[in-house]
Structure 1
């Protein structure tokens, strides 16, 4: 048996049909560059914006980078990839007209899809149905983590502190928008209007007065018909903490805490600030906070991870209010892995390098039991 066949085969799945397609391509490029090719046989599975699954060689995936201030995007030129359920797991094949060729096992799928139809439990459900081991949160945890409404309900039910918010469903907005706007009156300005099931700060607006609210809702609805409106914490600090499952089955581990400091007038950590490096943002790792505050954030990050039944990894975002209270903003079950992303930076500062982090996640996926857990 060849050395290739003895190495675990990792299918890196990325791209996708959501508005975060380009960010996922960047994440995949970073991860491919960090995987130990002597330890793992790696194949790329790109999903185009139209939904086609394509087989891509690792070198082509690693080449997906920001160019001329533009994020990368998959084209439709590669061969079709097909995932099939085998007798002892799943297999990946290339479609050659009406036949399948180059069939090979998939020992673990490393899904780097961000946003709906990838981070929301949908592809996790496909992996479960296809008997595929995979990295990261399962179906329920992914779905709860993606929907900010249900995420806050679960966290509040687990005694994890969350801020005031109002949800506007598509039915409410279509049938009685005046009543929906009246419900927002219970909150104090400024507000953040967000797609309920989105990420990477796409479609998010900061609203300082009522006259701006309708336009902000319509902007968020371009990305998701379900909207969440959150009360901002004035003069709060925005902090983050990474969580990583224990390789031996113990309680999860929390990284050092980081802080995002904006130099723009709005102070809003938007899409460009996250992924286009020339924007004015400082990412402090570790954050300049008291040890007791850091410990409280780490505790709440682990409790948030456990509250939604997360697996593998997550990034938990919190606010440290002007009064010194820690409030959980959200959990991200598939945080970005670009060179500008906080998650790998936090773990590097905690003693886990980028390649070590990727390797640990793959090993966690390989050890994941099939079926109900």
Structure 2
């Protein structure tokens, strides 16, 4: 690899001034665990990935790279291409933005010549750069991974399992909680088992569809006969509203199933719920998880529902804090922490609810690695709760450094 001033590791002195949070407590990075030989902890910011949310992950990483405290941490940006190659990338967030309604990709900032290898030996946390015809080059040890991947092959427990095998601490949920947070069916099953209210749904599994597509179609029609139209047909394991269709009648079923199965062979069909969309962030502090002020997602008047374009391209400002009563605010914050605990989450979660017309909160889903883009609700909710963007990142890294890998 030729020298590139944008693609490198930097060692910096650790002479940070003391800082404090909004409530006067010492800032999280005032207790940063030093790396080996007294150096600052090295954070691998991993982004991109093989899922359909690749571009969202790149935008998220751009925001994090701008905000992470470089006086507290050494930062190693690592991109995973859509084909799955791990690449050393430029630390260049300005080249990782949505442009002309097009999402960015890792390829825009990645070294094109070589690939990175993560160790699978817990006694060795050293990242190695390999290039055809060249001697592998050690890039130094990584103390913690900040995995900013969304969707399958990153947010679903696969990357978390690799990091567990490698013995490298990482931000966010572990293997089980990540898998649960990705799979809408098992997420709902776990919530129900812990007494959380979910909306009506049914699941069409891959073998069932392959065996008799018409029987699967009839089941959707029968579900609608009980719960009414419209329905929402979703990939069971996808995010950012990708692959979701609103179905207003029987004529739309086949296209909706085909679109969902384009992203995941398992499909979840949900009844429409009438109410307000309320979100709440959960963050792990040293004394346990706490909930942020909630937010409200306004109706997407220019879209049939809150789809991908409504979230990222034509996004409207959400209401932070949500205009709720004090009792409603306290209730949804408590439910968000309950969902965090039910799924055995760590680090962070964004919990999404419907506030029905009868005043009942119904949980829709959790996101174990919510978006951190400039317009994302999770960091906005915490900013309104008194935790700045950079403090938020710091708290997440510190929570990861406090934990060990393995059973816990």
Q: TM-score, normalised by structure 1?
A: 0.94
Which of the numbers 375, 379, 396 marks the counterpart of 1:344? Answer: 379
Cα distance in 1 between the residues matched to 2:300 and 2:310 = 10
DSSP 3-state at the match of 1:81: strand
Contact kept? 1:7, 1:40, Cα under 8 Å: yes
Paired residue for 1:197? Answer: 237
Shift of residue 195, structure 1, vs aligned partner: 0.5
Shift of residue 89, structure 1, vs aligned partner: 4.7
* C-alpha distance after superposition, 1:265-288 (max 9, x if no partner): 545111112112xx2633000011
Which of the numbers 103, 106, 115 marks the counterpart of 2:151? Answer: 115
Please say if 1:154 is aligned against 2:190.
yes
Contact kept? 2:183, 2:236, Cα under 8 Å: yes
Please say if 1:33 is aligned against 2:66.
yes
DSSP 3-state at the match of 1:240: strand
Which of the numbers 97, 120, 125 marks the counterpart of 1:90? Answer: 125
Paired residue for 2:102? Answer: 70
Please say if 1:314 is aligned against 2:349.
yes
Paired residue for 1:292? Answer: 327
Tell which structure's C-alpha radius of gyration is larger: 2
Paired residue for 1:3? Answer: 13
Cα distance in 1 between the residues matched to 2:98 and 2:404 = 37
Segments of structure 1 that go 5 or more residues without pairing to the other structure are none
Paired residue for 2:295? Answer: 258
DSSP 3-state at the match of 2:258: helix
Paired residue for 2:255? Answer: 215
Structure 1 stretch 279-288 or stretch 89-98: which is displaced more?
Answer: 89-98
Paired residue for 1:231? Answer: 271
Paired residue for 1:19? Answer: 52
Shift of residue 213, structure 1, vs aligned partner: 1.4
Shift of residue 371, structure 1, vs aligned partner: 1.9
Which of the numbers 171, 190, 204 marks the counterpart of 1:168? Answer: 204
Please say if 1:268 is aligned against 2:305.
yes
Structure 1 stretch 40-49 or stretch 167-176: which is displaced more?
Answer: 167-176
CA RMSD of aligned residues (A): 1.7
Contact kept? 2:121, 2:165, Cα under 8 Å: no
Contact kept? 1:262, 1:281, Cα under 8 Å: no
Cα distance in 2 between the residues matched to 1:294 and 1:308 = 22
Contact kept? 1:262, 1:282, Cα under 8 Å: no
* C-alpha distance after superposition, 1:302-340 (max 9, x if no partner): 111100100000100000111111000000000000001
Cα distance in 2 between the residues matched to 1:267 and 1:292 = 31
- Structure 1 residues 242 and 2, CA gap change in structure 2 (3 angstroms): closer
DSSP 3-state at the match of 2:202: strand
Paired residue for 2:396? Answer: 361
Higher percent of residues as strand: 1
DSSP 3-state at the match of 1:24: helix
Segments of structure 2 that go 5 or more residues without pairing to the other structure are 1-10, 15-37
